[in-house]
Structure 1
Amino acid sequence: MLLHRYCPRFLEMSYERERLIAELAVQRATILTKRVFHEKVKGEVAKDDKSPVTKGDFGAQALIIQSLVKNFPEDQIVAEEESSSLRQDESLTVEIWELVKNIELEDQPSDQLLGGPLPSQEAMLDIIDQGKSLGGPRGRHWALDPIDGTKGFLRGGQYAVCLALIEDGEVKVGAIGCPNLPVDDLASLTADIGVQQTGAGQGVLISAVKGFGATTRPLSNAGLSPGKPIAMRLVTDISQGIFCEGVEAGHSNQGDNAAVAERLGITSPSIRLDSQAKYCSIARGAGDIYLRLPVGKDYEEKIWDHAAGDLIVQEAGGQVTDIYGKPLDFTIGRTLASNKGVVAASKPIHDQVIAAVQAVLKL
């Protein structure tokens, strides 16, 4: 644990308190999700969009929102989940309640910063529902995805716990817990990275503050582990770039992605992994390019799926835009309604990638 991070003078620096709380809250929620995975029954239900939701989603959201409400009671929260399905399933609510009330960091100063146990199941449900803010261009909004990449979580692959502070439409702080990424920043991304990655020596917490760079540290049960700065890899020959994309064909047009890679001269197979672990992978030099190309004219990306990763990549020396080269616009509300798709790459090659994307999509 870095004791100086609890020094009041240190916390007065720009957004350092927000970063500290975000890191600790994401780490504590990540511990819960790992416990849920190792249970035999994960308590899966179905949302209206048919994607799976687990005890991990609800429990992680409750823990993180509790931490935000304690430390920043005036801030708004834009979160993915809400408790209506839980209120109709008492047994599942009880299971989640047992998980939430028993999650504590071994480091007491850290745990105390995040708030004590919630007093009741009803309080837990009410906390989950404090994530209904509509976002917008003014004020402070925390964008939260308690488990980004739920299908990756269920298959034992890549998923992430993601939290970002957006102030007046600009992302200021981002924290992402990736329990199944290797601790080694430069470990090669292999074809099986999307499945069966739950062994020992895994798990990183990556964060960034606007203008202050990005940091990685191993996940821990006892406060924050020592961190170190990260930077994107310097790519001199784009044909040697490492290409990342989503596992699910419904999230990104994989055919167009392949055509873009071919146009750039990239012959190695793309690396497919779920969640904002893709942003984290390219930010720390394990990959170079992340594409999420539109799969439908009317689809709008959700801000909680991109805010933290956007900032982390930028602070690591990268650039993130939509397919038209426009920065992602977090001022509109809960979605990126003015953007289409996502293109993330290091700054020296970003224009080349955008040109290839636009040629393939005939923009």
Structure 2
Amino acid sequence: MEDPWQKPYDFAVSVARKAGAEIRKAGESEIKVCTKSSTVDLVTKTDERVEKIIIGSLKEEFGEGTHCFIGEESVAKGESCILTDKPTWIIDPVDGTTNFVHGFPFVAVSIAFAVNKQLEFGVIYSCLEDKMYKARRGKGAFCDDEPIQVSDVKDINKSIIISEHGTDRTPEKVKKIFSTMQKILCIPVHGLRGSGTAATNMCLVATGAVEAFFEIGIHCWDIAAGAVIVQEAGGILLDVDGGPFDLMSRRMVSANNDVIAKRIIKEIEIFPAERDDAPVQKKC
């Protein structure tokens, strides 16, 4: 029987490379920065241009109207963020925009594909490192065609944990974020890290470089591709309360195993984050 998703998967890899080349080219010239929800929630013309390149390429390859799209910049401009049963691409054109603006060397193109609300594959191109991470459901995870797997560490005291503080600077939320980090650091663990991009963080879990990544306030486009890669590398995904992973919930723990994940969850101070698929409030 013909594999229906091999062609989209291969094309996603090629378009991710194309997008990455565009990002590298833009990084060599002037970077014009705008803001979205706050002065620290950045967007550049490169984000918008790269998303148009990715979506335009996919529509040209697979036909206009055949697939749905959830793109970070499209949603920021008011398009819906609802995952249906239709074939759907979930795209973050420049994950790590703040890194990109400052020349911090972790920037990723993240492309995932879902059918019947099931993630079928994920592709993450760490374009400044020139590393291609990819995975298909049930077929393993790879970096530059070499198989990858999570670490076998089960002792939390021997782990490195990765997290981010996001773009919401509400004092109450910042206090909970750093309180959580303090409690995890004092378990103690070997260290806390942050690359500035959720997609890269999840690839670090998948390769065994770190044992876990957690965050509240991320979006589906930040983690959809990484979710497939982590699971196919032998890792697990949970909600920050220990329940099942929900792509649209904006909260997640990804880890090498449930021992590490559940130990971290004990220390997480949860705060509200509006779901990605929450109804948009109409303005009067």
Q: TM-score range by the shorter chain?
A: 0.7 to 0.9
Q: Within 5 Å, give how 1:21-170 maps onto structure 2.
A: 21-39=11-29, 41-50=30-39, 51-73=41-63, 74-82=66-74, 132-157=79-104, 158-170=106-118
| Candidates 155, 178, 181, aligned match of 1:254 | 178
Letter in 1 for 2:234: G
| Candidates 139, 149, 161, aligned match of 1:212 | 139
| Cα distance in 2 for residues equivalent to 1:317 and 1:357 | 24
Over the residues paired in the alignment, what is the CA RMSD in angstroms? 2.6
Aligned to 2:89, what secondary structure does the other structure show?
strand
Aligned to 1:357, what secondary structure does the other structure show?
coil
The alignment of Structure 1 onto Structure 2 pairs a total of residues equal to 260
Unaligned runs of at least 5 residues, structure 2: 272-284
Percent sequence identity over matched residues? 24
For the Cα contact (< 8 Å) 1:344–1:350, is it kept in 2?
Answer: no
Q: Counterpart in 1 of 2:231?
A: 314
| Cα distance in 1 for residues equivalent to 2:92 and 2:103 | 18
Give deviations 1:56-112, integer Å, cap 9, x for gaps: 20221111112210222300001111499xxxxxxxxxxxxxxxxxxxxxxxxxxxx
| Candidates 20, 30, 33, aligned match of 2:10 | 20
Q: Counterpart in 2 of 1:115?
A: none
Give deviations 1:1-20, integer Å, cap 9, x for gaps: xxxxxxxx9xx435211211
TM-score, with normalisation over the residues of structure 2? Answer: 0.82
1:286 aligned onto 2:192: no
From the CA coordinates, give the structure whose radius of gyration is larger: 1
For the Cα contact (< 8 Å) 1:162–1:176, is it kept in 2?
Answer: yes
| Cα distance in 2 for residues equivalent to 1:174 and 1:245 | 21
Q: Counterpart in 1 of 2:162?
A: 244
Offset, 1:342: 1.4
Q: 1:176 to 1:340 in 2, by over 3 A?
A: closer
Aligned to 2:113, what secondary structure does the other structure show?
strand
| Cα distance in 2 for residues equivalent to 1:280 and 1:204 | 10
| Cα distance in 1 for residues equivalent to 2:165 and 2:267 | 19
TM-score, with normalisation over the residues of structure 1? Answer: 0.65
Give deviations 1:280-321, integer Å, cap 9, x for gaps: 1111111111121x4xxxx6x421111111111111111111
Offset, 1:273: 1.2
Unaligned runs of at least 5 residues, structure 1: 1-8, 85-128, 181-201, 218-226, 331-335
Give deviations 1:133-181, integer Å, cap 9, x for gaps: 543332111111111121011122222111111211111111111124x
